[in-house]
Structure 1
Amino acid sequence: MSGHGFHVHGPHDHELEHAAHHGDKDPFASRIAVTTAVLATVGALFGYMGGATQANAGLYKNNAAIKKTEASNQWNYYQAKSGKQNLSELAIALVPQEQRDRYRQEIDRYKQEKADIKAKADALEAEAHQWDERSDAEMHLHHRWAQATTALQISIALAAIALLTRRKWLEVGMYGVAVAGVGLGVAAVMHL
């Protein structure tokens, strides 16, 4: 604080002025600071990818649910046609001989319609299964990205502790965890 020729420095102000005038001669602190900045940047990218894959997984799961609903609708339609076919089969036993051909034609028509409906329902179920598989694959990637991000966050925390305590073994641990995090990120990129 200064005023009327009186100037007082706090310890923080003194360190900032000293660093500005003399430069930072502490390679340990400089190395940790740069590494922390790089890890934070890579971690932000990994975090973004984790969020994107989680969103994709949700969208794919939603598409699977839509296809399952469409398949269910087709199976309901199939059951309705089966009911009509059963009524036509019953009618053959109850109506006079001259009317039976009409019901036999209906039975044949219902059988064909049911075959078409079944094919469509089966195709929709297969499509739903594919969407589910894609969702599961995206969630796997999401977990890889989350693991990578977490490892980098731990590495950044170790960097702060190493900087405060000046312990070399913490710096080595920081780099080790950072390498593991980057390795997990590479695994995510490679879809492993």
Structure 2
Amino acid sequence: MSGGQFHVHGPHDHEMEHAAQHEPKGLAGQLAVITAVLATVGACFSYMGGATQANAGLYKNNAAITKTEAANRWNYFQAKSSKQNMAELAMDLTTSDDQKAKYREKIARYESEKNEIKTQAEALEAKSAEWDHKSEEQLHEHHRWAQATTVLQVSIALAAIALLTRRRWMEGATVIAGVVGIALGVAAWFHF
């Protein structure tokens, strides 16, 4: 310090200054950089895996809701069919031409309503199938992201083993596992 004052550095201060002035070299430095890169990429892959898993659940939920709506429409269709059947029976049992004409109108109306309800129910079933398909796609993509994240975690573990054992071939295994993990992430990105 300036001004002639006395200053004592602790052992921790000395190590911090030494670390700041000397970057890690050799195996330890390389593994530190590799591990940092792999951990960052792995965190991104993990996020994408969670997002696709959530999407798969939401899409499956939408499929179930839409399927229920379709079932409700089919139940309504059945109710109209029952009413139509009752009107047909009543028409067959009546002898009055006025009553028969009234029942024919009802039968025609029920038939028309049933056709509209059937169209709606079939559209809802198609939409439900579409949601199911989207859910399956997201689930497949989630599995790819999970595989990529797992391989990157194994790669980071290999880096720790390489650092502890000081084996260069383990550093190579770390890089190979990292490349495989990144390749799986790329496959997930492009929906393979």
Assess same fold via TM > 0.5. yes
Q: Which residue of 2 aligns with 1:86?
A: 85
Shift of 1:170: 1.1
Does structure 1 conserve the Cα–Cα contact (< 8 Å) formed by 2:27 and 2:168?
no
Q: Which moved more, 1:71-80 or 1:89-98?
A: 89-98
Aligned to 1:120: 120
Partners of 1:17 and 1:78 in 2: CA distance: 78
Determine if the alignment matches structure 1 residue 131 to structure 2 residue 131: yes
Q: Deviations over 1:135-177 (max 9, x none)?
A: 1101111111000000000000000000000111211111111
List, as ranges, runs of 4+ consecutive aligned residues in structure 1 with deviation greater than 3 Å: 13-19
- Same amino acid, percent of matched pairs: 58
Per-residue CA deviations over 1:99-138 (Å, capped at 9, x if unaligned) read 1111111111111111110000000000000011001101
| Distance in 2 (alpha carbons) for counterparts of 1:189 and 1:113 | 47
The residue number in structure 2 matching 1:59 is: 58
SS at 2:187's partner residue? helix
Asked if 1:152 is matched to 2:147, the reply is no
5+ residue gaps in structure 2? 1-8
1:27 is aligned to: 26
Other-structure match for 1:111:
111
| Distance in structure 2 (CA, Å) of the matches to 1:186 and 1:29 | 28
Q: CA deviation at 1:85?
A: 0.5
Taking structure 1 as the reference length, what is the TM-score of the superposition? 0.89
What SS does structure 1 have at the residue aligned with 2:191? Answer: coil
The residue that corresponds to 1:4 in the other structure is none
State the AA in 2 paired with 1:138: Q
Which whole-Å CA distance do the structure 2 matches of 1:180 and 1:154 have between them? Answer: 11
Query: Offset of 1:26 from its aligned partner?
Result: 3.1
Shift of 1:19: 4.3
How high is the TM-score relative to the length of structure 2?
0.89
**Conserved 8 A contact 2:59-2:132:** yes
Query: Which residue identity does 1:158 align to in structure 2?
Result: L
Partner deviation per Cα, 1:22-74 (whole Å, 9 max, x = no partner):
62453110000011001000000000000111111111111111110110000
Which one-letter code corresponds to 1:166 in the other structure?
Answer: R
Greater mean deviation of Cα atoms: 55-64 or 25-34: 25-34
Matched, 1:167 2:167: yes
Structure 2 equivalent of residue 36 of structure 1: 35
Which residue identity is paired with 1:121?
A
- State whether structure 2 residue 122 is matched by structure 1 residue 97: no
Aligned partner letter, 1:129: A
Q: In the alignment, what sits opposite 1:75?
A: 74
